[in-house]
């Protein structure tokens, strides 16, 4: 799932992004709509065709954004953080900070999206009864109610990670009480649906509808990948179950003085292989230095720039506690885009957790678990 792009604003405190692939699909939809309006309304001017095509395309992606906001608002209602919403080639995706804690929460978050699209369907359908299809508003509303009902209905297909698959997972979760099992079942359904779309899309492409068939197969491939990732996430949760930050942290704390230059810091990196260091001054912690921070400074300025000038200052460092669950820790690191966190106990730094250490732990415990099941 895309997680970055061009930031265009915030709604309800949620950053909204446009992925680079969005511009391609936006241009294609606008071009297609302009051609459709030209065919349906040859008496209109070319300016009207393109203006309506552009406006309809914008409102379509506004509908997609409204759909994702519906998911997000319900998630926020349950105090589940929403990291961002990104519009991309397949529509949109809301990046939720963590999984729902109950089946009811999962159901309500999932169902909010299709309900919002059906609400838009009704609104645009009513507009078609106010404005005739021969007018620009009526033509716009006619296409938008038709596309929104298709969007809502397609999303209700019971294959993970579609909304219908999440609803299906919530139902299985509620009945079985087992989140991991329900995810595997929903993801299995998602894989079957994805394979069906790929095969049907390939058949349509070979039967003459090349563009439509390839597009359907491409969507199926995307859903298949997402379903496989959902199973991997379940395995990750299982691998980290019962572990806390204190179990994974590095107790040997690498430190550097804040007064040294970045050129000297690079030599320390090369000597030790450590990617992150606590920055100290007279034994007191003043910040965090890493390769990520180093890369923000141009190479020709390293010898004249101190570690203090490039480090993350103490007040901006993201901390963990020794008793924080490892899964929660990994989710925070991913959501806040940090690769390491100092671990604090009784006001003192007692360790350092890195994302690499967490991923190695997941890999090791997963492989051992597979060997034990053989």
Q: What share of the chain has pLDDT > 70, as a percent?
A: 97
Residue 120's pLDDT is what?
A: 95
Residue 369's pLDDT is what?
A: 64
Query: Final residue of a domain: which of 188, 222, 240?
Result: 240
Based on the domain organization, do 255 and 217 belong to the same domain?
no
List pLDDT tens digits, range 33-86. 999 999 989 989 999 999 999 999 999 999 999 999 999 999 999 998 888 888
Sign of CA dihedral 9, 12, 13, 17: negative
The mean per-residue pLDDT over the stretch 97-116 comes to 91
Query: Final residue of a domain: which of 240, 262, 287?
Result: 240
Residue 72's pLDDT is what?
A: 94
Residue 111's pLDDT is what?
A: 95
Q: Is pLDDT of 321 > 80?
A: yes
Residue 346's pLDDT is what?
A: 77
Residue 370's pLDDT is what?
A: 58
Based on the domain organization, do 229 and 257 belong to the same domain?
no
Range of the domain at 51: 6-240
Residue 117's pLDDT is what?
A: 95
Based on the domain organization, do 208 and 357 belong to the same domain?
no
Residue 368's pLDDT is what?
A: 74
Q: Which residues are catalytic?
A: 68
Do the domain assignments include residue 261? Answer: yes
Residue 222's pLDDT is what?
A: 83
CA distance 365 to 235: 10
List pLDDT tens digits, range 10-35. 998 889 999 888 898 899 999 999 99
Based on the domain organization, do 93 and 176 belong to the same domain?
yes
How would residue 181 be classed by pLDDT, with cut points 50, 70 and 90? Answer: confident
Domain count, the chain: 2
Q: What share of the chain has pLDDT > 90, as a percent?
A: 32
Instruction: State the Cα angle at 130 between 125 and 135, rounded to 5°.
Output: 95
Based on the domain organization, do 187 and 330 belong to the same domain?
no
The mean per-residue pLDDT over the stretch 301-330 comes to 87
Q: Are 104 and 174 in contact (CB under 8 A)?
A: yes
Based on the domain organization, do 77 and 212 belong to the same domain?
yes
CATH number of the structural domain spanning residue 249? 3.10.580.10
Based on the domain organization, do 253 and 369 belong to the same domain?
yes
Sign of CA dihedral 76, 174, 99, 64: negative
Based on the domain organization, do 99 and 201 belong to the same domain?
yes
CA end-to-end span of the chain, whole Å?
33
The mean per-residue pLDDT over the stretch 101-115 comes to 94
Do the domain assignments include residue 1? Answer: no
Q: Is pLDDT of 305 > 70?
A: yes
Q: What is the mean pLDDT of the chain?
A: 86
Residue 147's pLDDT is what?
A: 92
The neighbour count for residue 296, using CB atoms within 10 Å, is: 7
Q: Are 255 and 279 in contact (CB under 8 A)?
A: yes
The neighbour count for residue 143, using CB atoms within 10 Å, is: 22
Based on the domain organization, do 222 and 78 belong to the same domain?
yes
Q: Is pLDDT of 1 > 70?
A: no
Do the domain assignments include residue 255? Answer: yes
Do the domain assignments include residue 266? Answer: yes
Q: Is pLDDT of 284 > 80?
A: no
Based on the domain organization, do 216 and 164 belong to the same domain?
yes
Of 219 and 112, which is predicted with more confidence?
A: 112
Q: Is pLDDT of 373 > 70?
A: no
Do the domain assignments include residue 119? Answer: yes
Of 318 and 143, which is predicted with more confidence?
A: 143
The neighbour count for residue 352, using CB atoms within 10 Å, is: 24
Based on the domain organization, do 276 and 368 belong to the same domain?
yes
Based on the domain organization, do 251 and 233 belong to the same domain?
no
The residues, any chain, with a CB within 8 Å of residue 171's CB and separated by 6 or more, are 103, 107
Query: Final residue of a domain: which of 240, 257, 279?
Result: 240
Do the domain assignments include residue 108? Answer: yes
């Amino acid at each position: 799932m895309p997680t970055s792009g061009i930031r265009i604003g915030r709604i309800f405190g949620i950053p909204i992004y446009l992925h680079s692939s969005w511009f391609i699909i936006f241009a294609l939809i606008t071009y297609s709509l302009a051609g459709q309006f030209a065919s349906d309304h040859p008496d209109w001017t070319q300016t009207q065709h393109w203006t309506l095509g552009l406006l309809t395309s914008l409102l379509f992606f506004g509908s997609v954004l409204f759909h994702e906001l519906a998911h997000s608002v319900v998630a926020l209602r349950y105090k589940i953080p929403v990291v961002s919403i990104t519009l991309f080639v397949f529509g949109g995706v809301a990046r939720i900070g963590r999984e729902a804690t109950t089946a009811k929460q999962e159901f309500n978050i999932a169902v909010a999206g299709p309900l919002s699209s059906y609400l838009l369907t009704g609104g645009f359908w009513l507009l078609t009864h106010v404005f005739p299809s021969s007018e620009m508003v009526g033509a716009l509303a006619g296409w938008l109610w038709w596309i929104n009902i298709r969007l809502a209905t397609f999303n209700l297909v019971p294959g993970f990670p579609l909304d219908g698959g999440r609803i299906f997972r919530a139902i299985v979760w509620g009945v079985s009480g087992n989140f991991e099992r329900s995810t595997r079942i929903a993801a299995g359904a998602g894989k079957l649906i994805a394979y069906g779309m790929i095969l049907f899309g390939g058949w349509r492409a070979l039967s003459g509808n090349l563009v439509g068939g390839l597009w359907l197969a491409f969507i199926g491939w995307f859903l298949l990948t997402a379903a496989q990732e959902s199973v991997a996430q379940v395995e990750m949760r299982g691998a980290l179950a019962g572990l806390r930050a204190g179990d994974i942290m590095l107790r040997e704390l690498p430190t550097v003085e804040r007064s040294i230059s970045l050129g000297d810091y690079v030599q320390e990196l090369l000597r030790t292989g450590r990617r992150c260091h606590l920055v100290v001054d007279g034994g007191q912690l003043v910040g965090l230095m890493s390769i990520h921070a180093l890369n923000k400074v141009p190479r020709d300025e390293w010898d004249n720039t101190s570690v203090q000038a490039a480090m993350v200052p103490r007040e901006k460092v993201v901390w963990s506690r020794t008793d924080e669950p490892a899964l929660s820790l990994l989710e925070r690191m991913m959501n806040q885009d940090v690769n390491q966190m100092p671990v604090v106990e009784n006001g003192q730094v007692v360790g350092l957790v890195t994302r690499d250490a967490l991923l190695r732990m997941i890999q090791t415990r997963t492989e051992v678990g597979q060997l034990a099941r053989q």
